[in-house]
């Protein structure tokens, strides 16, 4: 008899967990600059997305098809991955498999070293952030240059990304100007001394800074938005042209892709090329999408297929639909919790509602026990999701799997005891009225004594009413006994 | 020790031990457009302009003259053209495996296209001889692209059906742009900062 020990979770090196959410969120909420930047940015993107989604008469049918295609992919994942491998190999590419972050980093590092290059250009990629590839390359003496404008801002600012699509969403133009002036000269062409904080001037500084790196680079590393199993086609969806630069100019291209990024057929792209741009940047179509099948135009092509906890997500029938996610970030932009705390509070490179379900599943719930609570369960994320992931239900499901906080257990135990008899409940109500004294100045209770302080550390309690329903009934209808 | 490949595939099979049924995919979304030719071309022009591409329209016999006018107005004296471009342009440099640095010194590029999608203002290049390597439409700062009316479709599914996935494809919607600074759209980062389209009807 064999004992089923469960499926391995994400590598401990991966960037999928941090400080507990309530602790990290408190710092973010106190940062008024951050809240202002986030409030402006999310309001802008919500309005744009709503407008372009409203233009599409068959959005509901596309969304249903997108969800079904991804579910179909997950149900047939082994055969489709093998089909992808055959198609890529037949077209001159090489496929590698990685169980976890450490293995993926080792494969990519060896591939770069084999070219003799000591620097690489990178297209923004969640998979390579998840595995900490830049740090692994640096340890091997290889410099990795991020070429997406937002990733460049994050890299030069010695910062971490706070949004799936717009990693520097927490920075405003004045902060970006400061970072460019201070840092660009240390790693390449400096920013012009008279740099203003107008977005076109900042974008132009990035263009000049990165131009030579693109023209000189011999190796590029990308992620993939979609891979077509039947044709071996990889695609990168982007806006700036940095993706095209990386994918086209260097002689060696290495793509790192999570095993769930597949679609079965070429035709399936007709669905996702409509769902993704409108959901993510709120555009009818993103400026550039590149597609290639195998090694093309004289390039050497390597594809690294990454597990790193994804099979653990797949093993939970109630949680596996999180692997439908196409990383559009629509759920972040509509989330009231994300809007106030920003992405850093989630501690994972996958923040927001989708991060609150994906991260604990990938790492195991004990590593990320607070994230299932980082939500108001309002359902806005489910409505916005272009592949209809029921994030609120998954969060509730995950809450049942993580250890409950001591404060919550204490509160629930006391409430259950008090409600167990009419007499005890009457006493409890009388006592609760005394609580009005504690918070009468501010109209709410923000600190209770231990162990209930664990509850009020992340919530305010409303004051108990001056008169309970029972007291009102007795006053207006008599005792009734 | 088993290979990573065998182990990952084994993990996936174990994860799917409950044998989920493959989902039925209903393709009851729009597969074909309904606009007539005039409305279709007008929609493409509207969407291209909305994404800050500039557009000229002409009839087939006027095409050569229109291209020369566009290049003259732009002041683009030295442009690269793919080896199979069917129109003669005075002073154009045929791409003969030019390096990225050589392309960077040129004023622009002139190509044909494979398909255009009216509803999204998208032009798709498929690396055919009249479009050339992906590199030539990327490095120069100005891209002049010729779209024939019979290459225009209304919606994305019609474009996907016309394209060959074995060719390297580039889908272009307006010039290079970024929304990374406060989510405001700024045109022009790494790709060509000017996209000009000649629609031949």
pLDDT in tens, B81-93: 999 999 989 889 9
Looking at residues B88-104, what average pLDDT do you find?
A: 93
Residue A2: pLDDT band (50, 70, 90) is very low
- Interface contact A291-B169, CB threshold 8 A: yes
Residue of chain A with shortest Cα separation from B175: A287
In B14-137, beta strands by DSSP E: 54-58, 79-81, 93-94, 108-111, 115-117, 122-125
Given this model, what pLDDT does residue B71 score? 97
The verdict on whether omega for the bond into residue A451 sits within 30 degrees of 0, i.e. cis, is: yes
Which residues are within 8 A (CB) of A439 and not within 5 positions of it... i.e. 6 or more apart?
Answer: A445, A446, A461, A463
Looking at residues B97-117, what average pLDDT do you find?
A: 97
For A5-47, the pLDDT digits (tens) are 679 999 877 899 999 998 999 988 999 988 998 999 999 999 9
Given this model, what pLDDT does residue A440 score? 63
Comparing CA positions, the residue from A145, A130, A119, A461 lying closest to residue A307 is A130
Q: What is the DSSP letter of B78?
A: S
Find chain A residues with C-beta within 8 A of B180's C-beta: 148-150, 153, 166, 168, 240
- Interface contact B122-A99, CB threshold 8 A: no
CA distance A110 to B120: 41
- Interface contact B169-A296, CB threshold 8 A: no
- Interface contact A8-B11, CB threshold 8 A: yes
- Interface contact A288-B51, CB threshold 8 A: no
For A95-126, the pLDDT digits (tens) are 999 999 999 999 999 999 999 999 999 999 99
Q: Is the pLDDT assigned to residue A406 strictly greater than 90?
A: no
Given this model, what pLDDT does residue A412 score? 83
Given this model, what pLDDT does residue B35 score? 97
Residue of chain A with shortest Cα separation from B100: A215
- Interface contact A284-B177, CB threshold 8 A: no
What mean pLDDT value characterizes chain B? 95
CA angle A39, A41, A44 (to 5 degrees): 105
CA distance A15 to B25: 34
Residue of chain B with shortest Cα separation from A229: B165
CA distance B121 to B101: 30
Among A2-11, A131-140, A252-261, the minimum mean pLDDT is found in A2-11
Residue of chain A with shortest Cα separation from B191: A241
Looking at residues A384-397, what average pLDDT do you find?
A: 97
Looking at residues B164-192, what average pLDDT do you find?
A: 91
Find chain A residues with C-beta within 8 A of B189's C-beta: 149, 203, 206-207, 239-242
Residue B145: pLDDT band (50, 70, 90) is very high
Among A107-121, A209-223, A289-303, A418-432, the minimum mean pLDDT is found in A418-432
- Interface contact A271-B183, CB threshold 8 A: no
**A52 and chain B: CB distance < 8 Å anywhere?**
no
DSSP per-residue codes, A152-209? HHHHHTT----SSS-TTTT--HHHHHHHHHHHHHHHSSPPPTT--S-HHHHHHHHHHH
For B125-134, the pLDDT digits (tens) are 999 999 999 9
Given this model, what pLDDT does residue A1 score? 44
Show the tokens assigned to B194: 């000017």
**A72 and chain B: CB distance < 8 Å anywhere?**
yes
Looking at residues B10-35, what average pLDDT do you find?
A: 96
Comparing CA positions, the residue from A180, A127, A194 lying closest to residue A149 is A180
How much is the pTM?
Answer: 0.92
Looking at residues A165-176, what average pLDDT do you find?
A: 93
A residues 143-202 lying closer than 8 A (beta carbon) to B: 147-150, 153, 166, 168-169, 172-173, 176, 199-200, 202
Given this model, what pLDDT does residue A53 score? 97
**Between A199, A214, A290, which is nearest B184 by CB?**
A199
**A64 and chain B: CB distance < 8 Å anywhere?**
yes
Given this model, what pLDDT does residue A156 score? 96
Å between B180 CA and nearest CA of chain A: 5
- Interface contact B23-A71, CB threshold 8 A: yes
Å between A166 CA and nearest CA of chain B: 6
**Between A214, A267, A314, which is nearest B16 by CB?**
A314
Å between B92 CA and nearest CA of chain A: 22
**Between B127, B173, B178, which is nearest A285 by CB?**
B173
**A279 and chain B: CB distance < 8 Å anywhere?**
no
**A317 and chain B: CB distance < 8 Å anywhere?**
yes
Find chain A residues with C-beta within 8 A of B30's C-beta: 57-58, 61
Q: Is the pLDDT assigned to residue A387 strictly greater than 80?
A: yes
- Interface contact B11-A7, CB threshold 8 A: yes
**A285 and chain B: CB distance < 8 Å anywhere?**
yes
Give percent above pLDDT 90 in chain B: 88
Q: How far is CA A422 from CA A417, A468, A471, in A?
A: 11, 14, 13
Find chain A residues with C-beta within 8 A of B138's C-beta: 241, 244-245, 248-249
CA distance A282 to B188: 18
CA distance A173 to A197: 5
CA distance B144 to B112: 9
What mean pLDDT value characterizes chain A? 92
Residue of chain B with shortest Cα separation from A241: B191
Among A7-21, A251-265, B14-28, B90-104, the minimum mean pLDDT is found in A7-21
Residue of chain B with shortest Cα separation from A304: B5
**Per residue in A143-165, is it b (16+ CB within 10 Å) or e — as a string?**
ebbbbbbbbbbbbbbebbbbbbb
Chain A interface, mutation test: which of B6, B7, B8, most A Cβ atoms within 10 Å?
A: B8
**Between B27, B173, B176, which is nearest A65 by CB?**
B27
Give percent above pLDDT 90 in chain A: 78
For A316-367, the pLDDT digits (tens) are 999 999 999 999 999 999 999 999 999 999 999 999 999 999 999 999 988 8
Return the number of other C-beta atoms located less than 10 Å from residue A121's C-beta.
Answer: 25
DSSP per-residue codes, A255-309? EEEETT-EESSGGGHHHHHHHHHHHHTS-SS-SEEEEEESS-TT-EEEEEEE-TT
Q: Is the pLDDT assigned to residue B1 strictly greater than 60?
A: no
- Interface contact B190-A244, CB threshold 8 A: yes
**Between A45, A287, A311, which is nearest B173 by CB?**
A287
Given this model, what pLDDT does residue A441 score? 64
Q: Is the pLDDT assigned to residue B36 strictly greater than 70?
A: yes
Find chain B residues with C-beta within 8 A of A233's C-beta: 165
Find chain B residues with C-beta within 8 A of A199's C-beta: 181-182, 184, 186
Given this model, what pLDDT does residue A184 score? 96
Show the tokens assigned to A406: 């001591």
Backbone angles phi, psi at A426, to 5 degrees: -60, -40
């Amino acid at each position: 008899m064999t004992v089923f020990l469960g499926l391995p979770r994400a590598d401990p090196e991966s960037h999928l967990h941090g400080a507990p959410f309530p602790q990290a969120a408190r710092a973010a909420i106190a940062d008024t600059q951050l809240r202002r930047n986030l409030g402006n940015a999310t309001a802008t993107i919500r309005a744009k997305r709503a407008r372009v989604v409203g233009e599409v008469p068959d959005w509901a049918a596309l969304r249903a098809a997108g969800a079904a295609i991804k579910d179909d992919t997950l149900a047939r994942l082994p055969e489709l991955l093998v089909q992808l491998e055959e198609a890529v190999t037949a077209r001159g590419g090489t496929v590698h498999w990685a169980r976890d972050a450490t293995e993926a980093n080792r494969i990519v590092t060896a591939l770069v070293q084999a070219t003799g290059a000591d620097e690489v250009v990178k297209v923004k990629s969640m998979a390579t952030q998840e595995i900490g590839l830049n740090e692994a390359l640096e340890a091997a003496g290889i410099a990795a240059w991020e070429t997406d404008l937002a990733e460049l801002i994050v890299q030069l600012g010695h910062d971490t990304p706070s949004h799936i699509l717009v990693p520097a969403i927490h920075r405003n133009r004045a902060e970006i100007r400061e970072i460019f002036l201070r840092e660009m000269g240390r790693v390449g062409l400096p920013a012009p001394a008279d740099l203003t904080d107008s977005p076109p001037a900042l974008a132009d500084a990035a263009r000049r800074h990165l131009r030579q790196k693109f023209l000189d680079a011999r190796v590029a590393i990308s992620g993939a938005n979609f891979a077509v199993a039947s044709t071996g086609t990889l695609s990168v969806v982007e806006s700036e042209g940095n993706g095209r630069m990386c994918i086209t100019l260097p002689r060696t291209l290495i793509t790192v892709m999570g095993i769930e990024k597949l679609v079965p057929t070429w035709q399936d792209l007709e669905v996702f090329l409509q769902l993704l741009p409108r959901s993510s940047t709120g555009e009818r179509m993103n400026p550039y999408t590149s597609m290639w099948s195998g090694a093309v135009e004289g390039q050497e092509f390597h594809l690294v297929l990454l597990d790193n906890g994804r099979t653990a997500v797949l093993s939970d029938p109630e949680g596996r639909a999180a692997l439908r996610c196409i990383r559009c970030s629509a759920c972040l932009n509509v989330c009231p919790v994300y809007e106030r705390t920003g992405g850093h509070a989630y501690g994972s490179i996958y923040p927001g509602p989708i991060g609150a379900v994906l991260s604990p599943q990938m790492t195991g719930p004990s590593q990320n026990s607070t994230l299932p609570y980082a939500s108001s369960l309002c359902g806005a994320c489910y409505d916005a999701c272009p592949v209809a992931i029921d994030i609120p239900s998954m969060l509730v499901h995950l809450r049942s799997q993580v250890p409950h906080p001591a404060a919550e257990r204490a509160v629930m135990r006391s409430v259950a005891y008090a409600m167990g008899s009419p007499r005890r409940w009457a006493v409890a109500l009388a006592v609760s009225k005394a609580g009005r004294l504690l918070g009468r100045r501010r109209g709410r209770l923000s600190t209770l004594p231990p162990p209930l302080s664990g509850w009020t550390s992340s919530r305010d309690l409303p004051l108990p009413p001056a008169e309970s329903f029972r007291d009102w009934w007795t006053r207006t209808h008599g005792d009734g006994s | 020790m088993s290979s990573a490949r065998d182990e990952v595939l084994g993990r996936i099979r174990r994860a799917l031990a409950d044998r989920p049924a493959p989902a039925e995919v209903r393709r009851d979304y729009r597969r074909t457009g309904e606009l007539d030719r005039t409305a279709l071309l007008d929609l493409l022009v509207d969407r291209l302009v909305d994404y800050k591409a500039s557009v000229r329209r002409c009839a087939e016999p006027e095409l050569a003259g229109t291209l020369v006018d566009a290049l003259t107005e732009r002041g683009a004296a030295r442009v690269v053209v793919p080896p199979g471009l069917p129109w003669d342009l005075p002073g154009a440099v045929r791409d003969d495996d030019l390096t990225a640095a050589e392309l960077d010194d040129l004023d622009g590029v002139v190509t044909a296209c494979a398909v255009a999608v009216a509803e999204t203002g998208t032009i798709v290049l498929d690396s055919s001889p009249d479009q050339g390597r992906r590199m030539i439409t990327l490095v120069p700062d100005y891209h002049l692209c010729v779209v024939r009316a019979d290459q225009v479709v209304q919606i994305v599914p019609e474009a996907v059906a016309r394209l060959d996935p074995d060719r390297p494809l580039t889908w272009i919607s307006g010039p290079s742009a970024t929304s990374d600074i406060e989510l405001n759209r700024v045109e022009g980062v790494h790709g060509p900062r000017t996209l000009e389209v000649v629609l031949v009807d």
